[in-house]
Amino acid sequence: METAMIHIGDKFPELEVQTTQGPLSLPGAFKGKWFILFSHPADFTPVCTTEFVAFQRRMEQFKALDTQLIGLSIDQVFSHIKWVNWIGENLKTEITFPVIADETGKVAMQLGLIHPNKGTTTVRGVFFVDPNSVIRAILYYPQELGRNMDEFIRMIKGFQTADANGVAIPANWPENELYGSDVIVPPASDVKTAAERLKDSSIKCDDWWLCHKKV
């Protein structure tokens, strides 16, 4: 089976998966919600263990953003269950999000999570999926580099802010070096709008194409 190529803007593919919380249909199980699907190379590995703890300890922040988490690796469900139990007993962290048991690797191949030059396990892939089941961002990390979950929370906040206000999000928001927590107003598409924008007291501009405002 060839590895699929999935793009930002695609609909998340329909999948039937077995998880630590029973069978799920994706993306239907999370219909109307944001969700983050993330893959890890293998159970009972050091970096992956730190990631699971980091995800779980931010669960309330994800919930506040109406965002669900679901993990995946090419392991049996029994291995997942034993591993999350070990995390609970030894690291005092109960894993409450489901983890897909992709024993055959079929789901990983469908999602493009096996990169031939990085071995036969899944890379550290991350899919951000919106309430309309559209993939909004895809990130890949190698096996040796753990992820930053605070950035994922920032990204969800940024997407939700952009969608709600019709704006764009600057670098390092909400601590942008130029505009702090302001957001970017999309460039005007005609001369009239550009002129009116320069007169709008709620919008600050360095030029007609570079404007920002508070939300």
Q: What is the DSSP letter of 117?
A: G
Contact by Cβ (8 Å): 95, 101? no
Give me the catalytic one of 17, 26, 36, 48.
48
For residue 211, indicate whether it is catalytic: no
Give 3: exposed, middle or buried? Use CB within 10 Å, 0-12, 13-18, 19+: middle
Residues contacting 20, CB < 8 A, separation 6+: 77, 80, 81, 84, 95, 98, 99, 101
Contact by Cβ (8 Å): 70, 107? no
Three-class DSSP category at 108: helix
- Residues classed as catalytic: 48
